[in-house]
Copies of this chain bind each other. A is one copy, B any other.
Amino acid sequence: MVASTAPASGQADGEAAPIYGVKIPAGYRDWRLISVAHEAGNLNDFRAVLGNDVAVAAYRDGKLLFPDGAIFARLAWSYVPSEENYRVFGRAQSFVAGAPTNVQFMVKDSTKYASRGGWGGAQFKDGKPADEALLKTCFPCHVPVKARDYVFTRYAP
């Protein structure tokens, strides 16, 4: 199977992202699934949000705030129509995850990141962190969901 040769744990690199000093957490690709999404428009990608044990437990316990140590990994892949599935279904109606695009992380540390709701953020593409200018665009979009501790994604059972 072609994709079976993909790296087991997604992207990995020792380099820390700027500003918040977030590194790619070891083994994040093995974290549990929170939910999925599709961004159309310019990005046109598939997303999956995974959470570490602290993050998943907070959802399941119904906590209003994520405790320090909670980390989200937002994986993304290109949004690809599946010709293979089309042949089976008899019409164009199936979209699958293509090549990975980038991975983003939200790390909760209410002291270290007090100035932005307790969340540090980072984005990596092919293991390389995005620059400071990009990272500064993250937090403002999360402010409207401050009531959910700045987290858009809801747990999908």
* Residue ranges of A at the interface with B (Cβ–Cβ < 8 Å): 1-8, 10-11, 29-30, 32-33, 35-41, 43, 46-48, 50, 58-64, 75, 77, 79, 82, 84-85, 87-89, 91, 93-97, 100, 141, 144-145, 148, 151-157
Contact = CB atoms under 8 A, between A and B. Distances in A.
Given A36-B36, A41-B91, A59-B4, A97 B50 contact: no
Contact of A62 (B1, B11, B38, B58): B1
B88 A148 contact: no
B60 A4 contact: yes
Contact of A93 (B30, B32, B40, B157): B40
Given A38-B46, A84-B145, 7 more contacts: A4-B62, A6-B157, A7-B157, A33-B33, A35-B96, A36-B46, A36-B48
User: How many copies of this chain does one complex carry?
Assistant: 2
Given A36-B46, A39-B94, A8 B87 contact: no
A77 B141 contact: no
A91 to B, nearest CB: 7
